[in-house]
């Protein structure tokens, strides 16, 4: 059959399928029968094709993934869900063999979350809400009405980190950013000298 004739036949069948549901169903049944009868041969052919074109398929998959990063993300998530046991075991094994990297990753993730949380409670760039100290190393989150230490201990008991907890819980109110100095002052005296100085300056 020439290419033109085949095209013509295809077009004819397409039109008839659209117009005649019985014909469409008959064709579908024929297709099903053919598949059932030749299942093994078709599977073998498909397997052979996959093996013969492995290199090409890999290249195509790579290119496709690069062009559709969102789809790749979804398909990875689906695959991980299906293979959760495998994934867990592989993760365990990887963690065992990459302790140094793991430590570094965790440290980086902790730092990133801390920055995000401090930024959120500072309305932008992290600073001490009392004295304006901007050095991240000196900053931490303070529970305005106390109870922070207890809460933190509870969380640590569960192996969780406080900054992550704040983020996951949608940044609950009642927290502020303080530097260590101001934090200690509030802890010891219930007020910070910074504020008292301001008061003296205001009343002078």
Distance CA 27, CA 35 (A): 12
Using the rule CB under 5 A, is 179 a contact of Zn ion?
Answer: yes
Positive or negative: CA dihedral 82, 86, 89, 90: negative
Residue among 117, 118, 130, 139 that touches Zn ion (CB under 5 A): 130
| Least distance to Zn ion, CB of residue 183, Å | 8
| Least distance to Zn ion, CB of residue 142, Å | 10
Residue in this structure with the two tokens 């053919």, named with its chain if needed: 34
DSSP, residue by residue, 136-176: GGGEEEEETTS-HHHHHHHHHHTT--HHHHHHHTT--SSEE
Q: Three-state DSSP class for 68?
A: coil
Are residues 115 and 169 in contact, defined by beta-carbon separation less than 8 angstroms? Answer: no
Are residues 106 and 88 in contact, defined by beta-carbon separation less than 8 angstroms? Answer: no
Using the rule CB under 5 A, is 166 a contact of Zn ion?
Answer: no
| Least distance to Zn ion, CB of residue 83, Å | 49
Using the rule CB under 5 A, is 182 a contact of Zn ion?
Answer: yes
Residue among 24, 131, 144, 155 that touches Zn ion (CB under 5 A): 131
Using the rule CB under 5 A, is 127 a contact of Zn ion?
Answer: no
Using the rule CB under 5 A, is 118 a contact of Zn ion?
Answer: no
| Least distance to Zn ion, CB of residue 151, Å | 21
Are residues 129 and 176 in contact, defined by beta-carbon separation less than 8 angstroms? Answer: yes
Segment interacting with Zn ion, rule: CB under 5 A, options 96-104, 129-137, 147-155, 169-177: 129-137
Using the rule CB under 5 A, is 133 a contact of Zn ion?
Answer: yes
Q: Which two structure tokens, joined as six digits, stand for 6? A: 């085949």
Using the rule CB under 5 A, is 180 a contact of Zn ion?
Answer: no
# chain residues binding Zn ion, by CB under 5 A: 8
CB-nearer residue toward Zn ion: 167 or 194: 194
Distance CA 15, CA 156 (A): 68
Q: How many CA atoms lie within 13 A of 139 on its CB side?
A: 25
Binding site for Zn ion (CB under 5 A): 128, 130-131, 133, 179, 182, 192, 194
């Amino acid at each position: 059959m020439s290419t033109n004739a085949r095209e013509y036949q295809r077009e004819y069948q397409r039109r008839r399928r659209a117009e005649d549901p019985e014909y469409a169903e008959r064709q579908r049944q024929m297709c099903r029968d053919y598949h059932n009868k030749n299942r093994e041969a078709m599977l073998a052919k498909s397997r052979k094709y996959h093996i013969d074109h492995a290199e090409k398929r890999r290249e195509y998959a790579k290119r496709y993934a690069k062009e559709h990063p969102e789809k790749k993300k979804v398909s990875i998530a689906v695959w991980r869900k299906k293979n959760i046991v495998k994934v867990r075991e592989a993760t365990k094994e990887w963690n065992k063999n990459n302790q140094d990297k793991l430590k570094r990753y965790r440290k980086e993730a902790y730092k990133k979350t801390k920055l995000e949380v401090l930024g959120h409670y500072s309305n932008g760039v992290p600073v001490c809400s009392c004295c304006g100290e901007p050095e991240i190393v000196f900053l931490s989150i303070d529970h305005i009405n106390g109870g922070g230490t207890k809460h933190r201990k509870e969380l640590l008991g569960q192996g969780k980190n406080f900054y992550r907890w704040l983020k996951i819980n949608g940044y609950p109110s009642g927290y502020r950013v303080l530097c260590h100095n101001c934090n200690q002052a509030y802890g010891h005296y219930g007020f910070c000298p910074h504020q008292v100085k301001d008061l003296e300056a205001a009343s002078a």
